[in-house]
Structures are given as structure tokens and as C-alpha cells.
Amino acid sequence: MQNQEEHVEESETEKMTSTQPSEVDDWANFRDDDIMQQQSAIQAEEAEKIPFVGDKEPLSSLADEYRSGSPILLEKIKVLTDQYAAIRRTRGDGNCFFRSFMFAYLEHIMESQDEAEVDRIKANVEQCRMTLQSLGYAEFTFEDFFALFLEQLESVIQGSEASISLDELIQRSRDQSVSDYVVMFFRFVTSGEIRKRSEFFEPFILGLTNASVEQFCKSAVEPMGEESDHVHITALSDALGVPIRVVYLDRSSCDNGSVSVNHHDFIPVSNNLPCASNGGTEATNPFITLLYRPGHYDILYPK
Amino acid sequence: MQASRARLFKEYKEVQREKSADPDIQLVCDDSNIFKWTALIKGPSETPFEGGVFQLAFSVPEQYPLQPPQVRFLTKIFHPNVHFKTGEICLDILKNAWSPAWTLQSVCRAIIALMAHPEPDSPLNCDSGNLLRSGDIRGYQSMARMYTRLAAMPKKG
């Protein structure tokens, strides 16, 4: 327990120095700085192990990982092999869902050259911009992130000066200054959607934490590195109108001994009815498939 | 680097435009370095900091706004969540709860809110935290008021 005398002493020295505003430019003994430095050192160490977005690997590499592990998992990976050909891993830095979504979506557009889809998502992005504005976000806080996403979207469409190759898309996805900005774009979009439909999301959020919708968005959606849950996935899928399939690889098994792999499709609730009425099965078949293992998302490629 | 500079320039313009919007905050950018800012904030009313003007120093990292600015009090303050010697501030949005949705201006607002609503359970100034935690509100307030008078008010005469 420090005593009060010390404070009195402090105050006296303070009195003498307070006339000249302190010229403390010594950030070195700033403890937050140390913490931040340590944190970025840890991140750098992790970065050595796996890039933000890895290379495409055959699904057998997943089986190798569990060779001496749970038989149920090995059994399930065998089942997955019937349907899926490859996996692309992402770094487990808390942004893996958004990062996987980013790459899977842009790669899909690059391969399909689906300009109708690009126009559709652009309209949704514009909607998201208006949502954030109406929620009171200052435009300058999010516009750079929006611009960077739209730039990536343009560049995967071939035939213009800005067009890029798949290799370049991979490089950009590994470049923090692009990759983290796109992840942050998704975080803004997700947060805006949750707040806009707060009465819908509130019960789900209460099921996860004790936080209000506002607190949840501020502490678990907007900050980088905060992990995603089904609330985030639902909101992002709805906001951008992009269906997402999540395949669950865990140790759960059926009582009758048969092994099956569960998946869940996040199908966006459509805001514009005409689309929903002619959509049918075509619109609801997700072209993005993510593999979920407790705590982490990677990208899966169907056969 | 370029992105952080561009963002800070937008914040600078916003600060100029909204100068009168928040009379409790005066945010100033260093003449020669857009990564260094200082702010003068008014102690919130009905707190021991009322009547005081507190100076904050901002050091903005190159990764801004993906990473938070470093902020600390230059003016001595007796508050559970401010380090008594270094002025370091314990506030979640300056650490893991940071997001680019915050601005230098809104950080100042959050710090003013922290002055009015101390969190004695995560103290950087244990003496101050202990006074509050043991329920000695009067002791806390008189210490805090004394330092406000000593360090944050213009000297008379």
C-alpha cells in the first residue's frame, strides 16, 4: 500500500514543473507500447507459420494432420473426400472467417467472370454504405475500406487495365495493407447489418454473451482479430446477399455408428423480392464453402 | 503509411469543420507532423475534474487506423485508470477493442466519459482504485480534486 506522503511529494515536484508543459517525448517507457510490441512480435511469429491465405492443398493434407488423431475425424475426412477436392488454409488470427470469405468470393468471381453477380453485390455494398451513414458512422471512417474492396472486385474481372491474375490475387490476399482492409470492410458491413436489424439479432447475441447489440458490435465485430460466430456469418451473408455453406468437422457422431459430415447453409434473406421469386434453387446454392473446425475456418473446394 | 496519412488528413479537415461542435475538446495537430496530436479536454461537470483542463498527447502509428493511437495524459491526474507517473490510460478501445470506426475526436470523448465513470476494478493507479473500491468516495473525490487544482487549473495571480 503506497502512502499518501508520496503523493504529497509528487504534487510538490509537479507544482514546480507544471508551469512548463512537460516535454515527455519518451515513448519508450510507455507500457502500452511494450504490450503492443510484444503482440506484434507474436503475430510476426505466427505469420512465419502460415500466410493470411495459404496455397491450395489436396484434401489428403488434412488427413495427414489427423493421422494419429481421432478416428471419427479421419472417418469424416474420408466422407469429405467424396465431395471435396482441396482445402486452402487461412491464418488463425481471429480474422479467418472474413479472410476465407474474401478469398473464396473474389476467386469465384475471377473464375466465373459473373458480371451480373458483380453488379448485384455492388448494389448491396451501396446499400451497406447507406446503412452505416444512417446509423451515424462518419463516412471518412469507413470509405477507404469500401473503396479498397470495390477495387479488388473490379480487378478480378478480366479485360481491363486493372485486371489481375490468380497469382496476383493470392499475393494481394497475403499483403496486409490490402487483406486487412478488405477484412475490415466486411467487419463494417457485418456490424451495420446487425445494428440495422438489431431486434432480429438481439436474441442470438444474448445467447452468445451478455452484451447489448451495440456493445457486441463494438467489442466483437468491429475490432480486428475478434472471432466470428454464426451471428457474424448470418449478418454478412444477408448484407451482401451471398449464400455461404459451412461444413462442420468436429468429433460429434451419430448414435447408430454411421459417420456423416454436417453442413449448414447460410442463405441470405432477400431484401428485393423479385430476386427471391425467380431465384429458386439456383440462387440458394452457395458457391462459397468453408470448412469449420472448432475455432477456425478454412476454404473448401468441391470436386 | 500513405493510408494512415490520408485518413489523418480527413480527420484534420473534420476537426477544422466541426470546431465548435464539441466545446469540451480542442484537438490540435502538430505543425510539422500529422502523426503527433495534442488535445485539451475539459474535466466533466459534477466530477472532481470539473473546472480543470487536461492535456493529452497522441502518437499515431503508421498502421492507423487499423491500429489504435497511443494516448496519454500530460497533465497530472488522480484517476484509477490513469497511471499516476506516465499518464498512460487503461481503456479497452485503446487496446483490443480498437476499431477504425473510432477517431481521435471520439477517443477524446471516450476519455472524458472514463473520467466521469472510473473503472476501479482495472486500476493503473492502485491508490485511487483502492479508495473507490473500499467505498471511500469522499477520499477519492478530495484527492482527485486536489490534483485537478494543482495541475489542471490556471494559476491565479
Task: Please give the order of strands across the beta sheet that includes B36-42.
Answer: B25-29, B36-42, B53-59, B70-73
- Above 60 in pLDDT, residue B142? yes
Q: ipTM of this model?
A: 0.91
Contact A224, A95 (CB under 8 A): yes
- Above 70 in pLDDT, residue A46? yes
Task: Measure the CA–CA gap between A89 and A291, rounded to whole angstroms.
Answer: 9
pLDDT of residue B121: 87
Distance from CA of A168 to the nearest CA of B (A): 21
Chain A residue closest to B155 (CA)? A19
- Above 90 in pLDDT, residue B63? yes
pLDDT of residue A274: 43
Distance from CA of B97 to the nearest CA of A (A): 5
- Above 90 in pLDDT, residue A168? yes
Chain-wide mean pLDDT for chain B? 93
pLDDT of residue A33: 66
Residue B127 near chain A (CB below 8 Å):
yes
- Above 80 in pLDDT, residue A276? no
Q: Which of A3, A5, A6, A11 to mutate to test the interface with B (most CBs of B within 10 A)?
A: A11
Distance from CA of B117 to the nearest CA of A (A): 17
Find the CB nearest B98 among A2, A187, A223.
A223
pLDDT of residue B1: 62
Q: Which of the pair, A106 or A4, is modelled with greater confidence?
A: A106
% of chain A surpassing 90 pLDDT: 66
pLDDT of residue B58: 97
CB contact under 8 A, A224 and B99: yes
Q: Which of the pair, B49 or A27, is modelled with greater confidence?
A: B49
Task: Measure the CA–CA gap between A271 and A197, rounded to whole angstroms.
Answer: 12
pLDDT of residue A8: 42
pLDDT of residue A5: 42
**Each residue's pLDDT tens digit, B101-116:** 999 999 999 999 999 9
- Above 90 in pLDDT, residue A272? no
Chain-wide mean pLDDT for chain A? 86
Distance from CA of A189 to the nearest CA of B (A): 12
pLDDT of residue A148: 97
Residues of chain B contacting residue A42, judged by C-beta atoms under 8 Å apart = none
**Helix or strand run (H / E) with residue A172:** helix A166-174
* Alpha-carbon distances, residue A273 vs A265, A278, A279, B99 (angstroms): 20, 9, 10, 34
What's the average model confidence in pLDDT over B142-154?
94
Find the CB nearest A33 among B70, B96, B155.
B70
CB contact under 8 A, B76 and A225: no
Contact A83, A302 (CB under 8 A): yes
The amino acid sitting at B9 is: F
CB contact under 8 A, B103 and A219: no
Q: Under DSSP, is residue A185 helix (H, G, I), strand (E, B) or coil?
A: helix
Contact A201, A231 (CB under 8 A): yes
Contact B78, B145 (CB under 8 A): no
Among the residue ranges A124-128, A282-286, A293-297, the one predicted with the least confidence is: A282-286
Task: Measure the CA–CA gap between A233 and A290, rounded to whole angstroms.
Answer: 11
Catalytic annotation, residues of A: 93, 96, 296
CB contact under 8 A, A22 and B74: yes
pLDDT of residue A255: 66
Q: Which of the pair, A227 or A281, is modelled with greater confidence?
A: A227
What's the average model confidence in pLDDT over B80-87?
95
**Each residue's pLDDT tens digit, A126-149:** 999 999 999 999 999 999 999 999
**Each residue's pLDDT tens digit, A177-209:** 999 999 999 999 999 999 999 999 999 999 888
Q: Which of the pair, A31 or A247, is modelled with greater confidence?
A: A247
Chain B residue closest to A40 (CA)? B67
Q: Which of B14, B76, B104 to mutate to test the interface with A (most CBs of A within 10 A)?
A: B76
**Nearby residues of A142 by Cβ (< 8 Å), 6 or more positions away:** A129, A132, A185, A188, B100, B101
What's the average model confidence in pLDDT over A10-38?
52
Among the residue ranges A69-73, A218-222, B2-6, B46-50, the one predicted with the least confidence is: A69-73
- Above 70 in pLDDT, residue A256? no
pLDDT of residue B37: 97
pLDDT of residue B84: 94
- Above 60 in pLDDT, residue A22? no
Q: Which of the pair, A88 or B96, is modelled with greater confidence?
A: A88
Residue spans of beta strands (DSSP E) within chain B:
25-29, 36-42, 53-59, 70-73
Task: Measure the CA–CA gap between A92 and A285, rounded to whole angstroms.
Answer: 27
Among the residue ranges A44-48, A217-221, B52-56, the one predicted with the least confidence is: A44-48
CB contact under 8 A, A188 and B101: yes
Contact B93, B50 (CB under 8 A): no
Residue B5 near chain A (CB below 8 Å):
no
pLDDT of residue A31: 65
Q: Which of the pair, B84 or A6, is modelled with greater confidence?
A: B84
